[in-house]
Amino acid sequence: MVEFCRRGGLAALLSAALLGVTACGGGGGSTPATSASSTSTATAAPASPAVPQRTAPMSLLIPLYAYPLVSSGSGTSRITTINPAWQAVAAGAAAVPTVAVINPSNGPVACSSPPSATLTAFTQGIAQLHAAGARVLGYVHTSYGQRALASVQQDVQTYAQCYGVDGIFFDEVAVQPGQAGYYAAAAAAARSAIVPLLGQTALVVINPGAYPDPSIAATADVTVVHESADLNQQPVPASLAAYAPSRFAYLAFGIGSLAQVQSAVLSGLFAQGIGYVDLTDQGSAGTNPWANVSSVYPDLIQAVQALNQTLQK
In the chain the domains, ranked by start, together with CATH numbers, are 10-35+56-70+83-308 (3.20.20.60)
Q: What was the pLDDT predicted at 5?
A: 36
DSSP-H helix ranges across the chain = 10-18, 84-93, 117-131, 149-162, 180-193, 214-217, 258-272, 297-309
CA distance 168 to 153: 11
Q: Write out the H or E segment, with its range, that includes residue 213.
A: none
pLDDT in tens, 72-111: 888 888 899 999 999 999 999 999 999 999 999 999 999 9
Q: What was the pLDDT predicted at 243?
A: 93
The pTM assigned to this predicted structure is 0.85
CA distance 272 to 274: 6
Closest CA to 126 of 152, 153, 108, 112: 108
Q: What was the pLDDT predicted at 49?
A: 53
Residue 50: pLDDT band with limits 50, 70, 90: low
Residue 56 has pLDDT above 80, yes or no: yes
**Which whole number is the average pLDDT over 245-266?**
96
Residue 254: pLDDT band with limits 50, 70, 90: very high
pLDDT in tens, 186-210: 999 999 999 998 778 999 999 999 9
pLDDT in tens, 4-43: 433 333 333 333 443 333 333 223 333 333 333 333 333 3
The length of the chain, given as a count of residues: 313
**Rg of the chain's alpha carbons, rounded to an integer?**
19
Residue 146: pLDDT band with limits 50, 70, 90: very high
Closest CA to 206 of 136, 141, 277, 130: 141
Q: What was the pLDDT predicted at 145?
A: 98
Strand partners, 241: none
Cα-based angle 239, 241, 245 (whole degrees, multiple of 5): 125
Q: What is the DSSP string of 103-147?
A: -SSSSPPPP-SSPPHHHHHHHHHHHHHHHTT-EEEEEEE-GGGTS
Identify whether 46 is preceded by a cis peptide bond (ω within 30 of 0): no
Phi first, then psi: give them for residue 166, nearest 5 degrees. -105, 0
